[in-house]
Amino acid sequence: MTTETGKPSGDSIEATPSAPTPSAPTPSAPTKASNWAAPVSRLEVGAVPTAALNLNVAGRRLAGPVQGFGQLWQKTYRVRLTGADVTPQAVIRTWKEHFGDFWPKGNHFYGPLTSLQPGEVALLDLALPGKMTLSTGVLVIFADDESFAFMTPEGHQFASFITFSSFADDAVPVVQIQALLRASDPLYELSMPIVAQRTEDRFWNDTLQALAAHFGVTGTTVEMQRVCVDRRRQWRYAGNIRQNAAIRTTLHRLTHPKAWFHHRGDA
Amino acid sequence: MTSGATTIEVRRLSPSASTIAIHGDITSGTEPALMDAYVQASDDATRSIVLDFSGLDYMNSGGIGLLVTLLVRVQRQGQHLLAFGLSEHYRQIFELTRLDDAIGIHDTAAAALAAAGA
């Protein structure tokens, strides 16, 4: 307990993250404004790749866990690159340059051709059960040498922050994905215990396995941890269903079959 | 204070409001200290928790996630979360991440404390 001169007495707690822990990568340098994206009121999308569908991104606001409907989950996926001679910085550099290449087959990430940078918008096609597709996107909100983070737009399955990081643990490079998310609307929330949680877990498990394989590490286990941070549902955000990207993508598919087949043929 | 360290100070302002002053960094590694501070700052009579960011040096995306977790705990107790002392840079990050939808941001300690009813 410390007391500062001339101020009311209070309790002081020291937190000295001297060594990285699996859930606590330490910042390597003071923050720079360029590590963060500038505020945006509505997302803007530049040139759209031929194969991508910009149906649910341009004009949308960002939606984090505060703006979501469902229960709040913190999900952590982690893999150790045992035996790989690579630094955390090199892992993140590769990941930022080839992010979509590590995604499971059938999913598409239309990001920049070079490397992910704060402020960039990427379009996504996510494969859903039943051969459905969800066309949505993400904004890169933060990026430094050891991590980068996305935030999702309205209509995405999850209202979320998701951080991708790498750090050394006992001299072993570790790669981690940590998502803080709520299902965006009641329909998505309904699917959470049935398919969405498992689909999400499988997606990031396969992604980390592919990334590990890129660095020569195969047959490794991805650790997963799922914690319900808030069991309450935020009913004031039930109206988010109006922007449900899965419904809108499906309706677009039904009403524009030619465009859809052309789109899929190029993908 | 050593480089890379975080010091969190709790001050009881009135029976209904407390301030948590953060000096240093906010990352996911700050969670135990910040949650301990919240436990000290909160009791049955507490209605407002005021975060003092005047001494904030660094915050990454993990820190933003940590503030969401704190917000959930505060709201679960029927309390309000307010903040002051944010630099323009971090004020913009609150705007970007839309944390300012749920955390009342104020220019000064006096304004935050007035809003807290302290």
Chain B environment of A33 (Cβ under 8 Å): 89
Tally of CB atoms within 10 A around A228: 9
Residue B32 is classified by DSSP as H
For A148, the domain range is 58-266
Contact B72 A161 (CB under 8 A): no
Q: Which two tokens stand for residue A82?
A: 């045992």
At which residue do the structure tokens 């309450």 appear? A232
Write the DSSP string, A141-208: EEE-SSEEEEEPBTTSSEEEEEEEEEEEETTEEEEEEEEEEEESSHHHHHHIIIIIHHHHHHHHHHHH
The ranges assigned to domains in chain B are 7-111
Give me the interface pTM, i.e. the ipTM.
0.88
Name the amino acid, one letter, at A256: H
Q: What is the pLDDT of residue A263?
A: 57
pLDDT digits 0-9 by tens, B107-117: 999 999 899 87
Task: List the single residue in B33, B60, B101 with the smallest CB-CB distance to A15.
Answer: B33
Name the amino acid, one letter, at A254: L
Confidence bin at A264 (pLDDT 50/70/90): low
CATH code, domain carrying A262: 3.30.530.20
pLDDT digits 0-9 by tens, A218-232: 999 999 999 999 999
User: How far is C-alpha A162 from the chain's CA centre?
Assistant: 4
Average confidence score pLDDT of chain B: 92
Are the beta carbons of B81 and B51 closer than 8 angstroms? yes
Domain count along chain A: 1
Are the beta carbons of A171 and A188 closer than 8 angstroms? no
Task: List the single residue in A8, A13, A40 with the smallest CB-CB distance to B33.
Answer: A13
Share of chain A above pLDDT 90, in %: 72
At which residue do the structure tokens 């009813």 appear? B117
Chain A environment of B25 (Cβ under 8 Å): 17, 27
Closest residue by Cα to residue A189 from A159, A168, A218, A166: A159
Q: What is the pLDDT of residue A123?
A: 95
Task: List the single residue in A10, A35, A64 with the smallest CB-CB distance to B10.
Answer: A10
pLDDT digits 0-9 by tens, B17-56: 999 999 999 998 899 999 999 999 999 999 999 999 999 9
Task: Tell me which range, A44-53, A111-120, A195-204, is most confidently predicted by mean pLDDT.
Answer: A195-204
Q: What is the pLDDT of residue A112?
A: 82
Q: How far is A189 from chain B (nearest CA, A)?
A: 18
Confidence bin at A17 (pLDDT 50/70/90): very low
pLDDT digits 0-9 by tens, A130-174: 778 899 999 999 999 999 999 999 999 999 999 999 999 999 999
State in words which class domain B7-111 has.
Answer: alpha beta
CA distance A154 to A138: 10
Q: What is the pLDDT of residue A21?
A: 41
Q: What is the pLDDT of residue A114?
A: 81
Average confidence score pLDDT of chain A: 86
For residue A9, tell me if it sits in a domain.
no
Chain B environment of A66 (Cβ under 8 Å): 68, 71, 98-99, 101-102
For residue A27, tell me if it sits in a domain.
no
Contact A13 B60 (CB under 8 A): no
For residue A24, tell me if it sits in a domain.
no
